[in-house]
Chain A
């Protein structure tokens, strides 16, 4: 097999002086954990690079898994040889033939000599190898400015690494290195994308969902479970805690007491209160929402200010300036789109007032809240939170696992 090694490059965290060590350790652990089932892999760390020797394991599957690890900037499939010019020429030739594109593609060789004991200079190696390739492969074209392919030769003390392809990783920070956040998850397209971006940024994420059963179906709860599962695979633990709030009593009280145009505003203020209260008890440093300015009536700047007013925890809104189209694209990329569009109501879509206030004000919101005694309802909602551990590899269902096993196993 030509490629028997994967070279991993870290993301921007390598710039972070003091914490670098801790970040590096974490990402290496994450990689090993993620690839646990491939028993014969070997790992090598060399400064800011990390190598996986693949030893005949399924390299395509491994690459797929590597794109699910936050903090990896990019990686390459690498062919290795000894630090010896003839071998380098040979291997370069094989790599180029293996990866060659359509006829007439252009290439250039780039050499990096980290092993200063190697007797030739980088430029000399580049020239020698290029000359060899031109001799061996007819019709080859060089282009030093704008090549279709760059053949990298990396001469290091531990050997020479040759590759052409650079596969983009998730980027961001190693999982769980930047603090814990609570994601407010509706089941729509946006919030789960916000969750994904937070995980990518290295946050440890827990999710909170407001369920309005029996006004909404259990299927909308299942939808949130399925969405959570979809982003759980990017986390270090491979799972996310999902807190389901029984929001119905509070929601019904709001509908009874509050003027129609303020229903959404008050509802969201209550959700923020519940999320913050839960978060403060559980070491949560910030809330995350899928809000984006101007998307719906409750997401004007005035509205955001009013619903944000009752709480002190910072609210992170990763999508705040993103266009809907870009959010949809991202949700398709992470395979949440098709789950999000399942046609079940969530707590924000049942009893939607015809004319919600577009510019609600704090003063009026507070007046609405004087109209009913919501505090015991908030306490009750927090006390009855149901927490599920959503494991990305597990099947989450109302059906018992042994039933499924009995029915389908052969």
Chain B
């Protein structure tokens, strides 16, 4: 199998799995128990919080280990919006967010929360002017994905932060799932109010992720139960996944630059290989984009069909985001970017990793040549 769907999920790193296993076997004490076996787990949890902050140079943050980024985003959004219950609430987000964010907003719209969706240009970039105009005294949350999961656009988070900062009541949520440990931020991660991540996208275990937020934000709880994890994520802590998350972030953040350069080389090889094919449209922008994601369309072939064509050649890619690829709807990011139904219907996402080889890239280029008859 040749795998080009690393933005959907990654294989677990043996090192991280080892950490996971060790904790599952030896540290299964409940971190809320009062006896020393439980205290030991609790101490490990605290150490994990500390390591997490240290490896990303963070300070004054709370880390909530969650079951993944969907839960993390839900907790963040409800945590802010519920704080202003009974008041006018306005949220600004983009039209190209992952469903883990956008669907939460859709549900909120039914409950009297006003939501504005920022449009994007032909590069998938939001318009900062539009954001400036939409901001007002009732805006409590701005939510912008750092690296787009479908076409790879890197949003101008630094500039967004500057704008949001002028409204003290408003917080910023950054969905960092496709950015963290992959793309070097041009903003100070420590200055972001809240960000979320998913462990299995960075060679960690499934079913885990994290919400990181400034301690003084004082999020409102959304889930109810005991008081674990500051009451934000009640329930017995999944210590093995928590530590595995910290370890994955630590390990892959340390090699970010090395992997980035490596993937960039392969990305350029792939992109130039496909650009020379006249039947292929490249949906990913040329600038401000992540080399980990390349989105293309072959207008004459439906995206789903193209995925299966490639599957026959033992090559795994995806249409849009895997989480939504079973929906028969248009690929919304590509549509929002190009306003072209056919282009959106026929789009596929190729997502890369340092694990891919140049030969694999060559095979993919040739397979697409064969499919397009070029």
Q: Which residues of A contact B (CB under 8 A)?
A: 217-219, 222, 397-399, 404, 406-408, 410
Contact = CB atoms under 8 A, between A and B. Distances in A.
Given A399-B44, A407-B247, A408-B47, A218 B39 contact: yes
B250 A397 contact: no
B22 A407 contact: yes
Category for how many chain B residues contact A: 10 to 19
B34 A217 contact: yes
B36 A397 contact: no
Contacts of A399: 40, 43-44, 47
- Tell me whether chain A's interface is mostly helix, strand or loop, or mixed: helix
A267 B36 CA distance: 28
A397 B45 CA distance: 12
B155 interface: no
A218 B243 CA distance: 23
Interface string B28-68: 00000010100110011001100100000000000000000
B247 A218 contact: no
- What 7 A-B pairs have minimum CB-CB distances, sorted nearest first? A410-B251, A408-B51, A407-B19, A410-B250, A410-B254, A399-B43, A397-B43
Contacts of B180: none
Given A398-B36, A408-B48, A410-B254, 7 more contacts: A219-B39, A399-B44, A399-B47, A406-B19, A407-B22, A407-B44, A408-B247
Interface string B1-45: 000000000000001000100110000000000101001100110
Interface of B: 15, 19, 22-23, 34, 36, 39-40, 43-44, 47-48, 51, 243, 246-247, 250-251, 254
16 contacts: A217-B34, A218-B36, A218-B39, A397-B47, A398-B40, A399-B40, A399-B44, A399-B47, A404-B47, A407-B19, A407-B44, A408-B19, A408-B51, A408-B246, A408-B247, A410-B251
Contacts of A219: 39
Contacts of B48: 408
B23 A407 contact: yes
Contacts of A404: 47
Given A217-B34, A397-B47, A399-B47, A407 B243 contact: yes
Nearest to A222: B43
Nearest to A407: B19
A399 B243 CA distance: 14
Contacts of B247: 407-408, 410
A407 B40 CA distance: 14
A152 to B, nearest CB: 34
B27 to A, nearest CB: 9
Contacts of A217: 34, 39
A297 B40 CA distance: 36
Contacts of A408: 19, 47-48, 51, 243, 246-247, 250
Contacts of B254: 410
B78 to A, nearest CB: 27
A50 to B, nearest CB: 32
B121 to A, nearest CB: 39
B44 to A, nearest CB: 6
A400 to B, nearest CB: 10
Residue of A398, A404, A410 ringed by the most chain B CB atoms within 10 A: A410
A397 B40 CA distance: 9
Contacts of A407: 19, 22-23, 44, 243, 247
A315 B246 CA distance: 47
Nearest to B16: A410
A157 B304 CA distance: 82
Nearest to A219: B39
Given A218-B36, A407-B23, A408-B51, A398 B250 contact: no
A398 B51 contact: no
A166 B259 CA distance: 45
B7 to A, nearest CB: 23
A398 B39 CA distance: 9
A224 to B, nearest CB: 15
A53 B199 CA distance: 46
B250 A406 contact: no
Given A398-B36, A398-B39, A406 B22 contact: yes
Contacts of B44: 399, 407
Contacts of A406: 19, 22
Contacts of B22: 406-407
A404 B36 CA distance: 17
Contacts of B15: 410
Nearest to A397: B43
B62 to A, nearest CB: 14
A219 B36 CA distance: 9
A408 B47 CA distance: 9
A22 B40 CA distance: 46
A217 B36 CA distance: 9
Nearest to B34: A217
Contacts of B39: 217-219, 398
B17 to A, nearest CB: 12
Nearest to B18: A406
A35 B175 CA distance: 41
A398 B23 contact: no
A166 B48 CA distance: 39
Contact of A398 (B19, B34, B43): B43
A202 to B, nearest CB: 32
A218 B40 CA distance: 11
A222 B254 CA distance: 31
Nearest to B243: A407
Nearest to B248: A410
Contacts of B43: 222, 397-399
B308 to A, nearest CB: 39
B354 to A, nearest CB: 15
B198 to A, nearest CB: 19
A222 B43 CA distance: 10
A217 B34 CA distance: 8
Contacts of A218: 36, 39
A130 B23 CA distance: 68
B117 to A, nearest CB: 39
Nearest to B51: A408
Contacts of B23: 407
Contacts of A397: 43, 47
A378 B146 CA distance: 64
B337 to A, nearest CB: 37
A12 to B, nearest CB: 35
B259 to A, nearest CB: 13
B231 to A, nearest CB: 15
Contacts of A398: 36, 39-40, 43
A408 B48 CA distance: 8
A167 to B, nearest CB: 22
Contacts of A222: 43
Nearest to B254: A410
Nearest to B250: A410
Nearest to A217: B34
